Structure 1
Amino acid sequence: MEINLKVLICDDSILIRKKLKSTLEKCRITNILEGENGQQAIDIVKSEKPDLVFLDIVMPDKDGIEALTEIKEFDPSIKVVMASSAGTQSHLKKAIELGAYDFIQKPVTLEAVANIIDKIVKEGMEGSL
């Protein structure tokens, strides 16, 4: 059964976007959008209103922290998961303070993504009871 979530992947690395997309597809998510920098993330969020955004922290134009701030100002209900490589711990703390839903460490694993999707789906089911 397909999971009815609209997901935006935003990362400046096409390889990471491809890997995350195939991981999401394994989690039965088919409605996937992509962006490659913080400004694109904001623009796509405003036009497409995804349920979930995977947002890289270090990106050109606008970084993930700036994009997170603007996304949360636009729609506080959108769940934003920060993706970070080693060495961005201070950014993660800031991201959580700014309202990030969760974070995953790169390289992204199927298990980490599946756990986040499960958590969101469970919350959604509880919310609609």
Structure 2
Amino acid sequence: MSLPIVIADDSLLARKVLTKALPGDWDVEISYASNGHQALDLYRAGRAAVMFLDLTMPDMTGFQVLETLQHEDLNSFVIVVSADVQPLAQARVRDLGAVAFVAKPVTQEALLPILKEYGLYA
């Protein structure tokens, strides 16, 4: 059974780059969100066991998505993928429940150790 994942980023290019950085043999079903509201809708529909989340998006930021997930007691492996590499931003996303932070542009070498650490990829 495929693992449902969401890639949430307002940039089509960033979504494509992240998709290409995923392991080619990883059995996943990918859904895409271009803003935080769509990401939460996909989560609530059971399509986000893992969520790759950008911080800077229109309408609802990645920080707001994390706050909503935390407030509603929703449980997902959230990996933040962002160009905002400031230590305060990284600390804040971890405080809000993200399991990891990956700087853009994302690479498979950056993702694999995280996926393996959490048992998401063998």
What TM-score range do you get, normalising by the shorter chain?
A: 0.7 to 0.9
**Which aligned pairs between 1:43-82 and structure 2 lie closer than 5 A?**
43-82=41-80
**From 10, 19, 24, the counterpart of 1:12:** 10
Does the Cα contact within 8 Å between 1:27 and 1:114 map onto a contact in 2?
no
Which segment drifts farther, 70-79 or 90-99?
70-79
Change (3 A) 1:7 1:99: same
Q: TM-score, normalised by structure 1?
A: 0.82
How many residues are aligned here? 122
Unaligned runs of 5+ in 2: none
Does the Cα contact within 8 Å between 1:35 and 1:41 map onto a contact in 2?
yes
Q: In structure 2, what is the equivalent of residue 99 of structure 1?
A: 97
Q: For 2:69 and 2:119, locate their aligned partners in 1 and report how far apart those are by CA, in whole Å.
A: 21
Unaligned runs of 5+ in 1: none
Change (3 A) 1:107 1:4: same
Q: For 1:79 and 1:73, locate their aligned partners in 2 and report how far apart those are by CA, in whole Å.
A: 15
1:79-128 Cα offsets, whole Å, 9 max, x none, are 11111114543222111111111110101011111112212226x99xxx
1:41-76 Cα offsets, whole Å, 9 max, x none, are 111111124211000011100100001111233344
Q: TM-score, normalised by structure 2?
A: 0.86
Name the structure with the higher helix share: 1
Change (3 A) 1:98 1:110: same
